[in-house]
A and B are shown apart, each in its own frame.
Chain A
Amino acid sequence: AQRVTQPEKLLSVFKGAPVELKCNYSYSGSPELFWYVQYSRQRLQLLLRHISRESIKGFTADLNKGETSFHLKKPFAQEEDSAMYYCALSGPDTNAGKSTFGDGTTLTVKP
């Protein structure tokens, strides 16, 4: 069974500090991993996906198949980064395009 675990429900850092949101997954094949973000009162939106290897808003995430992790990192957090972050997994074995989401991490960046 596939599973996504985000061990931290809440994470608080000061502006300018580095931030890392943890995500671990369980999947038997080759997964696609994503980070979605939800700013206050807004819809969920894709932040980045591992296959594109891009940096969005200063965030990066590296897929570590050995540790089955896909942690989201940013070297210098900004107040506007405060949001709910979801790690998600999909893959060829995922029935009909379903994605599995973690429970989410609420990031607060304090001034």
Chain B
Amino acid sequence: NAGVTQTPKFQVLKTGQSMTLQCAQDMNHEYMSWYRQDPGMGLRLIHYSVGAGITDQGEVPNGYNVSRSTTEDFPLRLLSAAPSQTSVYFCASITLLGTGGSEAFFGQGTRLTVV
């Protein structure tokens, strides 16, 4: 059982280049999210999805696009990379708890540098 798999682990982009960060989960969770992790700023939600075909913006969505064609996959696209997008990106697969809250299972992260 792999859980949440992210690729690539590391990436260097030039300003203006585009790329897609891949995320796949095998836990059959409906909810998935993308976070970015920056020093001193914790984890900030970029986009999330409540199921195949349904996505919504989080706290810091600008510069990123997502789609959710299947339950398993939730790719994050950078259309035109900027140095401000240098960060560590985490994908999470989320299960809802019976009490109404939720628990997140994270991928191993993608360390992205934009030069």
Which residues does A use to contact B, with CB under 8 Å? Answer: 6, 9, 30-32, 34, 36, 42-46, 49, 51, 86, 88, 90-92, 94-99, 101-104
Query: Does B53 reach chain A (CB closer than 8 Å)?
Result: no
Residue of A nearest to B41 (CB): A103
Q: Does the CB pair B102–A99 fall under 8 Å? A: yes
CB distance from A27 to the nearest CB of B (A): 11
Interface string of B74-108 (1 = CB under 8 A from A): 00000000000000001000111101111111111
Residues of A within 8 Å of B58, CB to CB, are 98
Q: Which of B12-20, B42-50, B64-72 is near enough to bind chain A? A: B42-50
Decide if B101 touches A90 in the complex (CB within 8 Å): yes
Assess whether A44 is in contact with B99, with CB atoms less than 8 Å apart.
Answer: no
Q: Is the CB of B106 within 8 A of A43?
A: yes
Return chain A residues, CB-CB under 8 Å to B100: 30, 32, 91-92
A43-B90, A45-B106, A103-B41 are known contacts. Are A91 and B101 too (CB-CB below 8 A)? yes
Q: Which residues in A have their C-beta under 8 angstroms from that of B102?
A: 32, 90, 94, 97-99
26 cross-chain CB contacts under 8 A: A30-B100, A31-B101, A32-B100, A34-B103, A36-B106, A43-B107, A44-B43, A44-B106, A46-B104, A46-B105, A51-B97, A51-B99, A51-B101, A86-B42, A88-B104, A90-B102, A92-B101, A96-B50, A96-B56, A97-B33, A97-B102, A98-B58, A98-B102, A99-B104, A102-B42, A104-B42
